[in-house]
Amino acid sequence: MKKTVVIDIVALSSRVIGEHTPFLKSWIDKKQHSVIEPVLPAVTCSAQSVYLTGKMPNEHGIVGNGWYFQDECEIKFWRQSNRLVQSPKIWDKLKSENPEFTCANLFWWYNMYSTVDYAVTPRPLYPADGRKLPDCHSQPMELRDRLQQELGQFPLFSFWGPNANISSTQWIADAAKKVDEWHNPTLNLIYLPHLDYALQKYGIDFEKIGKSLQEIDAVAQDLITYFENRGAEVILLSEYGITSVSKPIHINRLLRSAGWIQVKNELGLETLDAGTSQAFAVADHQVAHVHIQDQNLYSQVKGLLENTPGIEQVLDKKAQKAYGLDHERSGDLVVVADKDSWFTYYFWMDDKKAPDYARCVDIHRKPGYDPVELILDPKIKVPLLKVGSKVLKKKLGFRYLMDVIPLDATLVKGAHGRIPESDEDKPVFVSNTSLNAKNTIQPTEVFELIYRALKA
């Protein structure tokens, strides 16, 4: 088998490849640069699962970055077990054909408890005193310890949140090289998240995102050069492109105003009680899954959404089939925003009653995706002092609440999830011309192209 490396540069699109990415532009110009028609929803977990299984969400079951777990009556985002993916993965097929094949997965999602040979993925420690400490999970388990001894602790707080920066992406790239040196896997899957941060905060504003583009270009140059010197076939791809937005849609507030959302009072603050709500939305970037637990309200809910400014499509189960999204985990309705809009998870009507996690980076408790977590509250007059005092409490072992996230969704200027009109804003697939000669490929074709590269 041909040693192959698949580098996933999140949010890389033709629109952002240019003067700020001199290496990538030069390298891509010598390759076959194709557009991937994105899956709906065009989000990390759904897209990656399509690429790795060759199946659409109605078969592999990953209908978003999170969904409503109906048997538990809970909305859960960013789960990590690979057993949630309901279709065989590319490495399963290759292992069945050649027992000598090995695979390393560096930070692609659903990376825990999979059948790859070497896996590394973020996994914080949560001591009983309430702290959250940086760490990662690996397979085999000792790989985690060896990597952190060599590279330092995985910089979790640079991976997501207001302090997200290039250091987490650099750590992943360095870890990928270490794993390759130590184990020489046949297939390397590498996830580089850095572009996601600036693009979601600022949209397509090159004055503000130029530095991030230069930083990812440098990491990509080092990584691609390393693997090409090792004789590997390098494939570069992305999951989606990010476009500029200006209008957040508070979809759960709409449903609450209609009387269909149930909240619970917890110490004077409100939490969403999905199990007893008649209708609620699982907001995920520019797509939302709307669950209607009282089917007598179906027509009313659908009508409200169809007449809401900023909502472009309301897909019932029949319409979902056209997008390969008709799965039991999908909502009764799947709602898609227009190009200027995106969906918040906000369900409270008064910020004073927002749950305590709303002002924190808390990706597992929030019943929806929250890109505002990337932004430090601009109302904090001396942010370094406030954050520093909380970090000090953490180091001293005291309980603390890192409540530094604003509740102003208009601060977010970039989003993804819908299928963009322009090819310039769609994900890319870059490979040798001998592997692929198409200008446009379907997301399910990525599986076959990776397979073909390995079998060359």
Please write the tens of the pLDDT for every residue from 415-453: 999 999 999 999 999 999 889 989 999 999 999 999 999
> Which secondary structure element, helix H or strand E, spans residue 292, and what is its range?
strand 287-292
Task: Please report which residue ranges of 104-205 form alpha helices under DSSP H.
Answer: 141-151, 166-183, 195-202
| Tokens (6 digits) for 128 | 């009983």
pLDDT at 128: 83
| Tokens (6 digits) for 273 | 């009680």
| Tokens (6 digits) for 50 | 């399509």
3-state helix, strand, coil in the chain (%, to 5): 35, 20, 40
Cβ-contact 15, 423 below 8 angstroms = no
Q: Say how far apart CA 362 and CA 366 lie, in whole Å.
A: 6
pLDDT at 394: 67
- Taking 50 as the pLDDT cut, the residues of the chain under it are none
For residue 73, give Cα distances in angstroms to 234, 276, 292, 370.
43, 9, 13, 20
CA 391 to chain centre: 27
pTM more than 0.75: yes
pLDDT at 422: 98
pLDDT at 402: 77
Token pair 């603050």 is found at 269
pLDDT at 400: 65
> What DSSP line would sit under 56-110, residue for residue?
-HHHH---SSEEEETTTTEEEES--BGGG--S--HHHHHHHH-TT--EEEES-SS
pLDDT at 396: 62
Cβ-contact 374, 314 below 8 angstroms = no
For residue 132, the SS3 value is coil
Cβ-contact 57, 39 below 8 angstroms = yes
Q: Say how far apart CA 279 and CA 261 lie, in whole Å.
A: 6
Q: pLDDT tens, 170-193?
A: 999 999 999 999 999 999 999 999
> What DSSP line would sit under 16-32, residue for residue?
G-STT-HHHHHHHHTSE
For residue 246, give Cα distances in angstroms to 166, 253, 307, 362, 442.
26, 18, 19, 24, 29
> Which secondary structure element, helix H or strand E, spans residue 291, and what is its range?
strand 287-292
